[in-house]
Chains A and B, each alone.
Chain A
Amino acid sequence: MTVPYSYLDRQFSDIDAYLDDIRQVVQAGDFTLGAAVERFEEQFAALTGLPHAVGVGSGTDALILPLRALGIGPGDEVITPPNTFVASVAAIVMVGAKPVFVDNNDEYTIDVNQLDAAITPRTKAVLPVHLTGNPADMPAITHICERRNLAIVEDAAQAILAAIDGKHVGSWGAAAGFSLHPLKNLNVWGDGGVVVTRSAAMRDKLRLLRNHGMATREDIHIWGANSRLDSVQAVVALRLMSQVRDITDRRIANARRYDRSFADMSDVITIPRRRPNVCQVFHTYVILVSERDRLLQRLLERGVRAKVHYPVPLHLQPAASGLGYKPGDFPVCEAHCRSMLTLPVHQHLTSQEIDSVAGEVRRFYGR
């Protein structure tokens, strides 16, 4: 049995339509912030139900640019969870601010109950992460942030189409950053990102910040870098727009199939709570398991490309040595990092493949 983690060869097995679109971009020479990017932005905004979307160079930049647009910088603190991809924290550091961690909860998102205690007079924003495609508790976070007058930038890199009570992620924060990285649910052929926002002023500022601060070449009022979604990537994204709901549904169905297979194994497998009012989109399917490293090894030997997201909490990474954290500071996150396991869940896996992965897991525990 081989269950690969990557599925790009299956997803793009019929490439001619994509190449036709790219051919048109190449022929027109319309490579930079052209018509395709605008069309993608319109469609992405519509997909999320938010009024504005701005295409940028990467998911990381989709966090950096909103933080910069909010004027967050040196001397400011931004609160985020320690179990996430490094970019959530890097974005905060890149604008010159200080990341302050708050432990994760048992759904792998930020523990809202510990948020208040981490807020200081220097706190300017909270950056919750919708890890695995599971939305953080945005109503509760919003409640706290409104009371404490803090901005919210949602890290929705893994969470396209994730929603709470039918409201798409991105609906709570000042802005939300999405990634279009090749392994994301809506995936382009290189790096790409998109920011959504309810605010026209935020949108306008993001458009300047992604393009050298230039309204026109003759009149530059803010310093900005270069972070644009390439037109060739936008045409790929446009073609995938019609598929993304189906992709998401298949991932959800695969996840539910795993959930059912593991339902009677709560002694060795902890499945995070599935809230009925929440749409989790399963960018990754992550469970907590006993004897994780041995199980992971077994699965790899059997051709199942399981992974760990992420084995080292960010507060314990070498990069964080200057932030003053130590082992034990975030016990929930640290325990998760020792027992988390990511099983393949992508849309190209069949029910049979899901069942055989689940079967390997069950056999490992002698079930």
Chain B
Amino acid sequence: MSSVAGIPFVNLSAQHRALKDDLLSAVARVLEHGQFILGPEVAEFERQFAEFCGVRYAIGVGNGTDGLTLALRALDIGAGDEVITAPNSFMSTTSAIVMVGARPVMVDSADDLNIDVTQIEAAITPRTRAILPVHLTGRPADMGPLMTIARAHHLHVIEDAAQAVGAAYGGCAVGSFGTIGCFSFHPLKTLNACGDGGMLTTDDSQLNDRLRVLRNVGLKTRDDCIEWSGNSRLDTVHAAMLLVKLPYLDTWIAQRRAHASEYCRLLADLPQIQLPAERPHERAVYHTFVILAERRDALSAFLASRGIRTAIHYRVPIHLQPVARRLGYDRGAFPVTEQQADRILSLPIYPELTRHDLAYVAAVIREFYTRSSA
């Protein structure tokens, strides 16, 4: 196996090199009409995104975190309310709940790294208003049983689909299950803006109307402020560039899925690592490709020494972050999440990787475990 120059964890410039001319032309067109705020490209991208997700409405917002906050606010969730969510996620899943004044109530993870639906009912109290599952790594949470529980207890479901655009469960796209779905177009996402951006999805026309007011400082018209709210709009220039990229999304997802299955094929016989095992009714989009690895930190260092960059999503579960101390969870509160946190490792998975790159990564992992067992 010949060595390669190095495999970075992400490679944004490769994607943008190919699309550069189209992206810049899209920006130039925005400049020509000058409608930088909620211009026609935002409306068009919202229309196409809603169609992609199979929902009636999509509302562009400033970023994925604001999307979660606006979703909670649109459902009047605030002080005194509880929202059930997962401790294994990016911070903003929980911080959005805190920011609206509600209390995050966490439930441990299952072996798919997502919320363990068998433990949700035990966490429901009279104050629970919503369940906020995360489709972490781009793999859908177990939405079938989760929706059954939500219906039985009259709870809203807000999907954190920040990492999961294009993922599906039982043939339905994520973002189409809950009352509101929340997406991120952060530059490292599968469908990525050249800056911060986000999108909300819903089938409810009243929520659609309210979210449009909430993202735009509470203004129904220029002079009619019907409720106080902040400013969180998807920039027209970002929407214009996302419109250039959206037609490629299915291809990019297919490439990520092909890479994932190639990793799985190459690494299947290694007992020291556990690979993501997509179930038949799931379509994961592999925003990240996360394995559970024995001696994770040593493996990560070994890969780095061979020019392969990896990452950990996320090293510290949210309930163990210093800021979460007041939520009252100690170490041991979520044993599965905590065990996973010590073993998870994200391998490079972007579309621009070659089969050769993947084979090299797999070979170096194999070498690590062969050496250490010798």
Contacts and interface: CB of A to CB of B under 8 A. Distances in A.
Interface range for B: 35 or more
A26 B64 CA distance: 21
Contacts of A189: 27, 30-31, 36, 235-237
A227 B237 CA distance: 17
Interface in B290-314: 314
B351 to A, nearest CB: 14
A219 B322 contact: yes
B187 interface: yes
B13 A28 contact: yes
Contacts of A218: 315-316
Interface stretch (A54-62, A107-115, A143-151, A162-170): A54-62
A51 interface: no
Interface of B: 11-13, 16-17, 20, 23-24, 27-28, 30-32, 34, 36-37, 62-66, 69, 79, 90-92, 95-96, 98-99, 101, 186-187, 193-196, 217-219, 223-233, 235-238, 314-316, 321-323
Contacts of A61: 230-231
A364 B117 CA distance: 71
A86 B323 contact: no
A221 B28 CA distance: 41
A210 to B, nearest CB: 11
Interface of A: 6, 8-9, 12, 15, 18-19, 22-23, 25-29, 31-32, 57-61, 64, 74, 85-87, 89-91, 93-94, 96, 181-182, 188-191, 212-214, 217-228, 230-233, 310-312, 314, 317-320
B62 A319 contact: no
A228 B195 CA distance: 9
Contacts of B235: 189-191, 230, 233
Contacts of B30: 189
Given A86-B217, A218-B315, A231-B195, A317 B230 contact: no
B225 A232 contact: no
Contacts of A232: 194-195, 237
A164 B193 CA distance: 41
Given A26-B20, A27-B20, A319 B12 contact: no
Given A90-B230, A217-B315, A312-B223, A223 B194 contact: no
Given A31-B195, A89-B228, 5 more contacts: A12-B31, A28-B13, A90-B230, A218-B316, A225-B66
A61 to B, nearest CB: 7
A153 to B, nearest CB: 15
Given A86-B218, A225-B95, A319 B225 contact: yes
B195 A233 contact: yes
Contacts of A9: 32, 34
B224 A190 contact: no
Contacts of A12: 31, 34
A57 B196 contact: yes
Contacts of A74: 79, 101
